[in-house]
Structure 1
Amino acid sequence: MRKLGFLGILIMVISFTSCVSNKDMTYLQGVEQQYAQYRDMTTTYSLKIGADDQLAISITSRDNKLISIFNNQTLIGSGVGSSQASTQNTQAGVSYFTVDKDGYIRFPIFGKIKAAGYSVDELSDMLAQRIRQEGYIQDAIVTTRIINYRVTVLGAVKNPGVVQNTTGERMTILEILGKAGDLTNVAFRKNVKVIREQDGQRISYTIDLTDPSSVFNSPAYFVKQNDLIYVEANKSERVKGSTGYTYLSVVGSFVSIVASVASLIISLTR
């Protein structure tokens, strides 16, 4: 009987160690208490343009003929002018630019213009104001989008890979993880890494998705172009494939079989 008791205890230990606490799985724990009342957002965030960003800048006017002088006749990725692209761009009022390493674009008529450090709205307003002030298009409306805004998501998510932001608008880490299919059951939610290149330097942030303060107050809550998000697996998943884990799995299976056979024998001999 002592042997059977030992086997039962061992089975229970193996079963419990394979389980993950609900406390480790739930996002934003206690958020209903922390944000029971409306809170002012202490900071606002707008996506900033950086070096190597690809921009789509569109100019609209009631007189489409006035727009053509601001077409740069370049299709992103071609490296040279394209007559077909030029026609398409002129008709749509869209021109494409790559921000150089110094943060400038070469804008038709105006030449080099500083783009890095501005938000897309700030650059649009600056260009529209200059176009109107210099008498080119009095009713000019300018819209700027970042078209190569992408974030890489790796690790314990359902759909790892590159997430494209086609709108060019700001996105949060929660939105990005949602687009990656959410975290898997083996993900360690308390140690999500965001690796960012900024001003020629690389910096890493750690976010605990179970803690609302860690999420909402993190500098990485709003993701930036080319961020890398890595979701670590929990400890039980990380040891899978190791010799020790394989040994324990075999032993656990063997113990389960022995316990089942022993229980059957006891039942039959009673």
Structure 2
Amino acid sequence: MAEETAVIGHPVVRLSEVGKGFDGTTVLDDISLDVPQRQFIALVGPSGAGKSTLLRLVNGMHVPDSGTVATLGENPATCSRGRLRALRARVGFVFQQFGLVGRLSALENVLMGSLATLRLPRYGVMSYPRALRIRAVEHLDRVGLADRRFQRCDTLSGGQQQRVAVARTLLQSPELILADEPVASLDPAASVLVLDILRRISAEDGISVVCSLHQIEYALATADRVVALRGGRLVLDEPAADLTAGRLREIYDTAGDGDD
């Protein structure tokens, strides 16, 4: 019961009446949202609804024009450069385009997830501490790619590359994972595999995940909770188990405005 109280009382993310615009166009308008510990949230909505902007506010890549953002107890907008760097080390970010170095092996790409905690530049797998190399292989094993650890990333399929990116994020030991359209460029089989891995990590490690998705079916199948944006406004926030595909499709009837 004490753990339940902690989950409810101390969200890992809290947005309070947040607004954000670019070049005179409102992208997010009066958004209030709490993300509890250990929850997988699917963030859905049409292109331009503000999903990517919301994730970047949580990570401190953008600063709100109004309202406040609290991420793991810190306000990214008021953090010093050093504190913001430390905060981002606690927040994993999985991008649509993977962000890997193609000419390097899967293992070395995963090891790069530790660079924020290391003092000196690293060149080659063996320049990393042995303990980190062991952990990196363990995380590749968790995403089903330990046997590909020495393979160049540019020779892997898109789904395999995204799984390497997830393993790299895990090496950070994140307390929160943000995923921005992580399966948008993948085929259905690879998409399901990547989302299943993220879901399993959330459940096994107790890590909150906020994952923006366009695919309604994936959101319903994967998430504990679905949050929908349209035109920069929060228009739905309900447990996934209470929703139907038909209700979610209504969110897409009217395209949103602003950057996504």
Same fold (TM over 0.5): no
* Structure showing the higher helix proportion among its residues: 2
Higher relative contact order (CA 8 A, sep 6+): 2
Normalised by the size of structure 1, how large is the TM-score?
A: 0.24
Q: Radius of gyration: which is bigger?
A: 1
